Chains A and B, each alone.
Chain A
Amino acid sequence: MAKRGATAPPRERSFALLIVCGLVYLFLIAPMIVVVSTSFTKTAYVVFPPEGFTLHWFAVAFSSQAFLKSMVLSLELAVLSTLCTLVLGIASALALGRWQFGGRDFLVSFFLSPILVPTVVYAIALLQFFAAFRTLGTFTSLLIAHTVLGLAYAMRILVPATVGINTVMEEAAMVLGATRLQALWRVVLPLMRGGIAAASIFAFVVSLDEVVMVIFIGGAQTITFPLRLYSYMAERFDPVVSVYSSLFVVVAVAVVFALARTVGLETVTGGPE
Chain B
Amino acid sequence: MPVTGEPMRQVEGRISLWRTRMEPATYSPLLLLPAVLLILIFFVVPSLWLLLVSFLTYKPGQFYAFPVTLESYHRFVAVSLYLSALQITVALGMVVTVAAVVMGYPVAYLLARTSGRSKVLLLALVVFPFFVSIVVRTYAWMALLDENGPINHFLLWVRLIRMPVTFLNDPKGVAIALIYAGLPLVILTITTSLGHISRVLEEAAYTLGAKPWQVFLRVTLPLSAPGVIGGGLLVFALSISAFVTPALMGGGKVLMLTLLINQQALSILNWPFAAAMSFVLLVLTVTVTTLVSVLRLGQPRYY
Contact = CB atoms under 8 A, between A and B. Distances in A.
Are both chains from one complex?
A: yes
A252 B132 contact: yes
A89 to B, nearest CB: 7
A18 B261 CA distance: 43
Interface string A26-56: 0111111011001000000011110000000
A120 B239 CA distance: 12
A152 B181 CA distance: 20
B123 A176 contact: no
Interface string B190-207: 011000000000110011
Contacts of B31: 91-92, 94-95
Main secondary structure of the interface of B (DSSP, over half): helix
A110 interface: yes
A219 to B, nearest CB: 12
A133 to B, nearest CB: 11
B27 A97 contact: yes
A253 B128 CA distance: 6
A125 B50 contact: yes
B123 to A, nearest CB: 4
A270 B274 CA distance: 26
B103 A24 contact: yes
Contacts of B131: 205, 209, 251-252, 255-256
B17 to A, nearest CB: 9
Given A111-B39, A241-B139, A245-B136, A265 B27 contact: no
A13 B30 CA distance: 53
B39 A114 contact: yes
A6 interface: yes
Contacts of B285: 116-118, 272
Nearest to A162: B27
Interface residues of A, number: 107
B126 A174 contact: no
Given A144-B42, A241-B139, A273-B241, A128 B49 contact: yes
Interface string B131-143: 1111111011111
B127 interface: yes
Given A205-B131, A273-B243, A268 B150 contact: no
B14 interface: yes
Nearest to B113: A12
Interface string A171-196: 10011110000000000000000000
Given A226-B133, A256-B124, A177 B47 contact: no
B35 A101 contact: no
A28 B183 contact: yes
Nearest to A171: B25
Contacts of A122: 43, 46-47
B134 A211 contact: yes
Interface in B278-303: 278-279, 281-282, 285-286, 289
Contacts of A117: 47, 282, 285-286
B38 A88 contact: yes
Interface residues of B, number: 102
Contacts of A20: 106
Contacts, number: 305
B229 interface: no
Contacts of A248: 132-133, 135-136
B271 A215 contact: no
Interface in A139-198: 144-145, 147-148, 151, 167, 170-171, 174-177
Among B50, B131, B150, B209, the most chain A Cβ lie within 10 Å of the Cβ of B131
A59 interface: no
B150 A35 contact: no
B87 to A, nearest CB: 18
B53 interface: yes
Contact of B27 (A95, A111, A128): A95
A249 interface: yes
A138 B162 CA distance: 52
A270 B130 contact: yes
11 contacts: A24-B183, A125-B46, A125-B278, A129-B45, A209-B133, A211-B133, A215-B262, A241-B139, A242-B139, A260-B120, A271-B289
Given A48-B149, A144-B42, A205-B131, 4 more contacts: A147-B38, A148-B39, A148-B42, A245-B135
Interface of B: 11, 14-15, 18, 22, 24-32, 34-36, 38-39, 42-43, 45-47, 49-50, 53, 63, 103-104, 106-107, 109-110, 113, 120, 122-137, 139-144, 146, 148-150, 180-181, 183-185, 188-189, 191-192, 202-203, 206-207, 209, 212, 215, 234, 237-238, 240-244, 248, 258, 261-262, 265-266, 271, 274-275, 278-279, 281-282, 285-286, 289
Give 7 closest A-B pairs by Cβ, nearest first.
A118-B241, A31-B140, A129-B46, A209-B133, A252-B131, A125-B46, A95-B31
